[in-house]
Structure 1
Amino acid sequence: MGIDAELFRNTLTKWASGVTVVTTTHEGQHHGLTVSSFSSVSLDSSLILVCISHRTAALPMLLAAGHFAVNILSSAQREIARRFAGQIPDIVDRFDGIAYSTLVTGSPLLDGALAWIDCHTARTIEAGDHTIFIGEIAAATVFDDAPLVYTNRQWGTFTPLA
């Protein structure tokens, strides 16, 4: 039971959200994908969640790795978001030419991001056609910049109301 899938998608386009790239490393290979389903879960202990589609090629690697990073993108990183969303078809290796570093888990932290959250996978939950990854935060870094925002199938940034 539920509503029509197209109506559901159209309804959710009205929700403005920040844009993240979730990354991991498994058996020496880097994997990453653009994700907008990201949220805080708990302050004590520090937990976040991301929702990953079962159709995503990186899902088996995220499950096997046991760790991941959430890169909160800045307004200057629209092309990074598009690259990791698979919207640039000629790119085979999404990390090719992308500068990154690592902290605790070894998951790639993309240079220029607004913030990094480095996590150990605390739990996964199957929910419909997605897997919810709950991450226990091992390290985080914040930079000062404007966020990349996605709403109504468009990229943008945040402008405070006067």
Structure 2
Amino acid sequence: MDAKAKKTALRGITYGLYLVGTKDEGGVNAFAGNWLTQTSFEPPMVTLAAKAGTRSQEQIAAGGVFSVNVLETGQKEMVTAFFRALEPEGNKLAGYEFYTGETGCPIFKDALSYFECKVVDKVEKGDHYIYVGEVIGAGVHREGDPLTMKETGFYYGG
């Protein structure tokens, strides 16, 4: 296989860029995630991939829940803050205010919208866990266009 062609082809997959909130008995966390897609209309379900062995992946496994915060175009600085491990400071992560909803996972006030999920299935493949989450709550903070990987200049894949 031509390694350059494979990398170029895989980078052609379009992605959004989201803040995924997690929690367990030790507290809350959030990470920048982009492997996310809706997988069912009824019941509403999404599929999310989380890198194996990370704090966030382990929190999803332990807590059985996660939240997805849809960011707005132009919020590159906000999502970039979640590319590293974080500790909450009161009701803030990386300086961004959050509250919790039905799942207890972070919901960011600066996000366009959010949804909360209960894990209903998981698969371990390669270096990621794939979680299927049933959407059990959702809300909209304001209207706007969602943030995409393309606008940030970041690449994932290949």
Q: Secondary structure at the match of 1:125?
A: strand
Q: 2:69 touches 2:115 (CA, 8 Å); kept in 1?
A: yes
1:33 to 31, 49, 60: 31
- Aligned CA RMSD, in angstroms, stands at 2.3
Q: Which residue of 1 aligns with 2:63?
A: 65
The count of aligned residue pairs is 149
TM-score by length of 1: 0.80
CA–CA separation in structure 2 for the residues paired with 1:17 and 1:68: 19
Q: 2:29 touches 2:86 (CA, 8 Å); kept in 1?
A: no
Q: Is there any run of 5+ residues in structure 2 with no aligned partner, and where?
A: none
Q: Which residue of 1 aligns with 2:136?
A: 138
Q: 1:124 touches 1:134 (CA, 8 Å); kept in 2?
A: yes
Q: Which residue of 2 aligns with 1:148?
A: 147
TM-score by length of 2: 0.82
Q: Which residue of 1 aligns with 2:87?
A: 93
Q: 2:17 touches 2:147 (CA, 8 Å); kept in 1?
A: yes
- What amino acid is aligned across from residue 93 of structure 1 in structure 2? E
Alignment of 1:112-131 (within 5 A): 112-131=110-129
1:79 to 54, 77, 81: 77
CA distances 1:53-103 after superposition (whole Å, capped 9, x unpaired): 2253321111101100011111242112111122xxxx7537142111122
- What amino acid is aligned across from residue 116 of structure 2 in structure 1? D
CA–CA separation in structure 2 for the residues paired with 1:145 and 1:137: 21
Q: 1:71 touches 1:115 (CA, 8 Å); kept in 2?
A: yes
